[in-house]
Structure 1
């Protein structure tokens, strides 16, 4: 393992060897961090509880499912591959506040984010996050 954890970059084949749920595990953390930084930047003086309430609107399975459904047609063939791997993975559990289809689409979204992050596709990841904030600001989730 490299000492510089911020510069680890995997190639596509290496990421393909990882379980899609493990890639989603990374994507979940990356997406949550993005949302928190975005909200703090936008609402610098907001109380932490209110920041949390706003963050939940972005990260809940229903929202992630709606986001990926709106962006699915804009994905490259490779991105679609990773989204579908995550969507089709069987996790064995479903959160109490989401139905199975929403949860699977959300897992696919997180897998896509994890893939983009692990392979160092920063421009594509930024474009995806920009699309998410645009959708939110238009009230589409």
Structure 2
């Protein structure tokens, strides 16, 4: 995307859609390099990082740690408050909305090419999940 387009103005669910893909790819790379296991085991491991419940818990933890900038908190808030027409699978609406907020900020950082901040966030997400294990 060129700089004439304001990424912040994108629909927060579009940001979350992008963020979901970015997080999924990062987690897959992380577990493949860490586990060097067969695909079924990799899939089972990946679910610990990318479920709505895990993402909501990670968002709560990072918010408690004051990890996000004000700008990022605004993106998270917009992602949480966005009206989704899809039903949350295996979770309640509040958990699903928190996970959408986390995915939205990931998508935002990715589309803004804020690579260092994105990398730091992805590493913090993985560390938070592994700390809970």
TM-score w.r.t. the length of structure 1 is 0.87
Q: Distance in 2 between matches of 1:62 and 1:137?
A: 14
Instruction: Specify the alignment match of 1:50 in structure 2.
Output: 41
The 8 Å contact of residues 13 and 104 in structure 2, kept in 1 or not, is answered as yes
Alignment of 1:17 onto 2:4: no
Post-superposition shift, 1:138? Answer: 1.5
Q: Which runs of 5+ in 1 are unaligned?
A: 1-7
Q: Distance in 1 between matches of 2:99 and 2:2?
A: 24
Q: Give CA deviations for 1:51-88 in whole Å, capped at 9, x if unaligned.
A: 00111111110000000111122100000010111000
Post-superposition shift, 1:96? Answer: 2.9
Give the total of aligned pairs.
Answer: 131
Q: Distance in 1 between matches of 2:2 and 2:15?
A: 13
Instruction: Specify the alignment match of 1:36 in structure 2.
Output: 28
Tell me: higher relative CO, structure 1 or 2? Use CA pairs within 8 A at least 6 residues apart: 2
* Structural RMSD (CA): 1.5
SS of residue paired to 1:98: coil
